[in-house]
Amino acid sequence: MKIYRHGDILLKEIENLPKNLKPLNHGILAEGEFTGHKHELKPVKVATKPSFQIYQDEKGETYVEILEPSEITHQEHKTLRIEKGIYYIQHEREYNPFEKKIEEVRD
């Protein structure tokens, strides 16, 4: 199983995509609410066919199928190469003791 961390997101390899996913027509895996920075997938090389496809389920969970090696870019992190595979995108979480709940980390 492959795992990649890029800032506050984690790509965790899974065997199959869940059913009933909606394809998204962009390369953004996560976008900062405050800074506007984004974790964005880009093809490693110019290709005639798509290098990846991002999906979302009805709960807002994100998945990506990497068809050809791709890269994740972000304004504050080094570019990271991602190999072929199917991945679940998990956002880093932290406990907020004042609200007494777990929240996603946002930049």
For the stretch 36-77, pLDDT in tens is: 778 889 888 776 778 999 999 999 999 999 999 999 998 888
Distance (Å, rounded) from C-alpha 54 to C-alpha 65?
Answer: 6
Residues of the chain with pLDDT > 70, as a percent, come to 80
Query: Residues 68-84, buried b or exposed e (16+ Cβ, 10 A)?
Result: eebebebeeeeebebee
pLDDT at 99 over 60: yes
Say whether pTM exceeds 0.75. yes
Domain locations in the chain?
Answer: 3-104
**Which residues are within 8 A (CB) of 21 and not within 5 positions of it... i.e. 6 or more apart?**
55, 56, 57, 63
Q: Please tell me the predicted confidence (pLDDT) of residue 81.
A: 94
Between residues 3 and 75, the one the model is more confident about? 3
Q: Give 50's Cβ-side CA count (13 Å radius).
A: 12
Q: Please tell me the predicted confidence (pLDDT) of residue 100.
A: 65
